[in-house]
Amino acid sequence: MSVASLVPCAVLGLLCLAGDVEAASASTAEGMIAVRGPMPQAARGPAGDSLTTVYEVGGVKVIHRHTSVTDVVAVNLYLLGGARQLSSATAGIEPLLLRASEYGTKTYPEEAARYALAHTGSWITVLTTPDYTRFAFRGIKQEFDSTWAVFADRLMHPALDSAAMSIVRGKMLTEIKRSTESPDAQVAHVADSLAFESHPYAVDVDGSVASISALTADDLRKYAADQMVTSRMLLVVVGDVPRPKLEQAITRTIGTLPRGSYVWTLPAEWTAKEGRVASVYRRIPTNYILGYFGGPLQSGPDYPAFEVATGYLGGVLHDIIREQGLSYAAGAPLLRRGATGGGVYVSTVRPDTVMKIINNVIEFIQKDPLPRSSLIKHAERYSSRYHYSTESNAEQADVLAQAQIYHGDYNAAAEYGAVLRRVSPSDVRRVARRYFKNIQYGYVGDTTRVPKKDMLRK
C-alpha cells in the first residue's frame, strides 16, 4: 500500500501541524509564539503599527506599544546571545545570576527584594533560550515605578551572598537532574548531543551539574561586569506607560550601564554530513526515538516552506502511525530558533516498523505534490492563531520581540500570513529534499531493537 493512500483527507485538507506543539521530548522555551519567515519589503503595509514605536534610551533599544486597553503592563528585557555567550564552564551563569538576585540586591538586601515586589502584586520571571535570556515582569500601571525599581536593581546590583547562591544553586541542580529522569527528556538530550555537536547550541544555557556546581559569586560578578551591557539589550514594553515615564525609568537605571560593543547576528545554520544514531539502554516497555535535521535560518527565504513541510511531515506521521496502532505519540517537532531545525519523534514498541514508515513518508513528501488548497488553509490557520495568541499584553511583547530579533522588524509576525500564501507545492518539495536528510537520531529503550539501517538512511 502506498503512503499516498494512507494519508487521511484531514491531513491534506487542514495541513495538520504536529510541529505547532512540539513533542514533549523537544519542548523548550522556544514553544512560545515565534515569528517566522522572511518579510519582503513589498509585503509591508504603508501605515504600519500606529501603537508601536522603536527608539533608544541610554543605549537600550526599546520597542514600546502604548495601549490603554488594560491596566496590565508587560515588560520584557531580552539579553541577546544565548548559548553563544557561554562556554561549557560558564553554562547556566546567566539564569543563576538573575535568579540569585531574587534574594537580595544593593537597595533591597536579603528578603527586602521579595517583600518589595510582593507589595506591588507584580512578579518577575527568568526564561532562557538558545538565542537569548528573557528577564521580565508583569504588573499593573499603578505600580510600574515601584516594580521597575526592584526589577532594575536585581539586574544591576544583585547581592549574591552565600545564602542566595546556595538556595538557587540547589534549585538549579535539582532541575537539571530531574530533566533527564523521563525517557522523553533523555532522548531529547541524546539527540541534542549529536545534532548540535559542533554548533554553539551544544552549550546548554541552563547549565550542567558540573558548571552550576563550580560557579562562584565572583564568577557571576565578573560575568555581569562584562556582559550586562546595553548593546546586548532589547526592551519591550506593552501597556499604559507613557513614553516620558518609561524613558525616565530607563535613564536613571539600566541606561547607566556600559554600552559595550555587542552586535546581534543570527547564528550559523547547523547541518550534518551523514546520519548518526546514539542509543541508550533503558529497561522500559516503550522505545523512544527522536531525530533532528537542520533547517534554514529563521530569516532565510526557505523558512516559510520549511515550516509547512515539517508540519506536513508531522501531520502525516501522526495520523498513519496512530491509525496503525504503532504509537500513542508521533510527530515532527519544529525548532523555532535563529538557526532552525525539525525532526521526527515517536514512542513505540515496534521501532523497526515505525522507522520504515518514517522513511516512506519523508520520501513521499519529497516527491508527491502537496495540494495548493492545503497551503492556503495553513496560511489562514496562522492568521487565526496569530490574532488569538496576541490577546494579552504579555503575548504581544513576545511576538514583537521575536519579530525584531529574528527579522529586524517588529511588524513581521502580523505579515507572516501573506508570506505563507506565497509558498507553493514545489517550494515544499524542494525544502524537503534539501533538509529532510542526514538525521541525527537519539534512541532510548531496548537497544537490541535499534533499527540502525533504517535510521541511517540518507
pLDDT at 8: 52
The share of the chain scoring above pLDDT 70, in percent, equals: 89
Q: Which residues contact 37 (CB under 8 A, 6 or more apart)?
A: 298, 303, 304, 307, 412, 416, 419, 420
pLDDT at 457: 80
**Averaged pLDDT, 29-55:** 49
Query: Does residue 137 surpass a pLDDT of 80?
Result: yes
Task: Decide: 141 and 73 in contact? Cβ < 8 Å.
Answer: yes
Query: Does residue 24 surpass a pLDDT of 60?
Result: no
State the pTM of this model: 0.89
Of 387, 393, 367, 379, which is closest to residue 421 (Cα–Cα)? 379
Query: Does residue 248 surpass a pLDDT of 70?
Result: yes
Of 33-42, 64-73, 315-324, give the lowest mean pLDDT range.
33-42
Query: Does residue 34 surpass a pLDDT of 70?
Result: no
Q: Is 218 exposed, middle or buried (0-12, 13-18, 19+ CB in 10 A)?
A: exposed
Using the structure block, give the residue that is written with the C-alpha cell 562556554.
87
The CB density around residue 256, as the number of other CB atoms within 10 Å, is 13
What is the rounded CA–CA span in Å between residue 108 and residue 112? 5
Average pLDDT over the chain reads: 88
pLDDT range class, residue 39, cuts 50, 70, 90: very low
Using the structure block, give the residue that is written with the C-alpha cell 514605536.
53
Q: What is the pLDDT of residues 428-451, one digit of tens each?
A: 999 999 999 999 999 999 999 999
C-alpha distances (whole Å) from 131 to each of 127, 149, 203 are: 11, 27, 11
pLDDT range class, residue 390, cuts 50, 70, 90: confident
Amino acid at 193: S
Q: Which residues contact 446 (CB under 8 A, 6 or more apart)?
A: 281, 287
Query: Does residue 49 surpass a pLDDT of 80?
Result: no
Query: Does residue 196 surpass a pLDDT of 60?
Result: yes
Q: What is the 3-state secondary structure (H, E, C) of the chain?
A: CCHHHHCCHHHHHHCCCHHHCCCHHHCCHHHCCCCCCCCCHHHCCCCCCCCEEEEEECCEEEEEEECCCCCEEEEEEEEECHHHHCCCCCCCHHHHHHHHHHHCECCCCCCHHHHHHHHHCCEEEEEECCCEEEEEEEEEHHHHHHHHHHHHHHHHCECCCHHHHHHHHHHHHHHHHHCCCCHHHHHHHHHHHHHCCCCHHHCCCCCCHHHHHHCCHHHHHHHHHHHCCHHHEEEEEEECCCHHHHHHHHHCCHHHCCCCCCCCCCCCCCCCCCCEEEEEECCCCCEEEEEEEEEEECCCCCHHHHHHHHHHHHHHHHHHHHHCCCEEEEECCEECCCEEEEEEEEEECCHHHHHHHHHHHHHHHHHCCCCHHHHHHHHHHHHHHHHHCCCCHHHHHHHHHHHHHHHCCCCHHHHHHHHHHCCCHHHHHHHHHHHCCCCEEEEEECHHHCCHHHHCCC
CA angle (214 as vertex; 211, 218 as ends), nearest 5: 115
Q: What is the pLDDT of residues 161-191, one digit of tens each?
A: 999 999 999 999 999 998 888 999 999 999 9
Task: Decide: 211 and 92 in contact? Cβ < 8 Å.
Answer: yes
Task: Decide: 236 and 76 in contact? Cβ < 8 Å.
Answer: yes
Strands 440-445 and 276-281 turn out to be: parallel
Here the cell at position 446 is 531496548
**Averaged pLDDT, 334-361:** 96
Task: Decide: 169 and 96 in contact? Cβ < 8 Å.
Answer: yes
pLDDT at 50: 84
pLDDT range class, residue 358, cuts 50, 70, 90: very high
CA 124 to the chain's CA centroid? 19
